[in-house]
Structures are given as structure tokens and as C-alpha cells.
Amino acid sequence: MRLRKNGYAARAGVAALLLPLALCACQPRKPYPQADVGGDARRGKALLAQFQCGSCHHIPDVEAARGKAGPSLAEFGLRSYIAGRWPNQQANLVRWISAPRSMDPATSMPDMGVSNDDARHMAAYLHSLK
């Protein structure tokens, strides 16, 4: 009886040790942090037209994007800063596109309800303009 009890305790002990390891192994791994922010430039171009960003911006090769209320986005991939203030990196640009007023409450660029995912694609297109 005593032996069986010990055997059970030993097995339970081993299971208790292995369970966290097994749970760890099942966690999805992100291969590269970049994968979080990368987007599809071709989809981004279509989305820029769909959201009518061009009513305020000139955006090369995007249909009807000849607006003058905002700065031209020509060669945006070569720009050092977004709106003259934030380093022109993908993560900053995604945030700017989806919620510019969360970065600068006084900006005249409106929050347009662009999802993070759509903003990632738009950012990929804007960064391809060189």
C-alpha cells in the first residue's frame, strides 16, 4: 500500500515537473519581431485609394490622390520623420495612420478608423516610395 502510494506520488511529481514544460512548448512563437509590423504594399496601395487618403495627400500612383490639405507623400520612404516629429519607422507609421490624434491631439489629420492591419499594409506601400 505504502509502495503504491509512493509510486503514485512519484508519477504525480514527474507530471508536475513536465506540465509547465509542455505548456511552454505549445506557446506560439513569433519568429521575428518584424513579422508583426510588415505589410503587403500592393494591398496598401488599394487601401490608400479606398480610404481616400488622397483627398488630402498627393500619393504617387494612387488613383485620384492629388489632395493639397496635407503634405505630399511622394518619396515618403526616404523621409526621416513622420509629421516632422517621430522617426519614420514602420511601427510609428502604423500608429500614425490608424490614430494620428493619439500621437498629436492637435494635428489636423483626422483619425479615420483605419485598423492596425490595414495601416500596416498602407505603411508598407508608403515606405516603398523612394
* Measured distance CA(120)–CA(102) in Å, rounded: 17
User: What is the pattern of x (binds ligand HEC, CB under 6 A) and - over residues 98-117?
Assistant: ------x--xxxx-x-x---
Task: Work out whether 122 is an interface residue with ligand HEC (CB under 6 A).
Answer: yes
User: Which bin fits 122, alpha (ψ -120 to 50), beta or left (φ > 0)?
Assistant: alpha
Q: How many residues does the chain have?
A: 130
- CB of residue 74 vs ligand HEC: minimum separation in angstroms? 10
Contact 60, 129 (CB under 8 A): yes
Q: How many CB atoms are closer than 10 A to CB 59?
A: 25
**Cβ distance to ligand HEC smaller for residue 4 or 130:** 130
Contact status: 70 vs ligand HEC (CB under 6 A):
yes
* Number of alpha carbons in the 13 Å side-chain half-sphere of residue 21: 5
**124 is a contact residue toward ligand HEC (CB under 6 A):** no
- Residue 49 binds ligand HEC (CB under 6 A): no
Residues that bind ligand HEC (CB under 6 A): 48, 51, 53, 55-57, 69-71, 73, 79, 82-83, 96-97, 104, 107-110, 112, 114, 122, 126
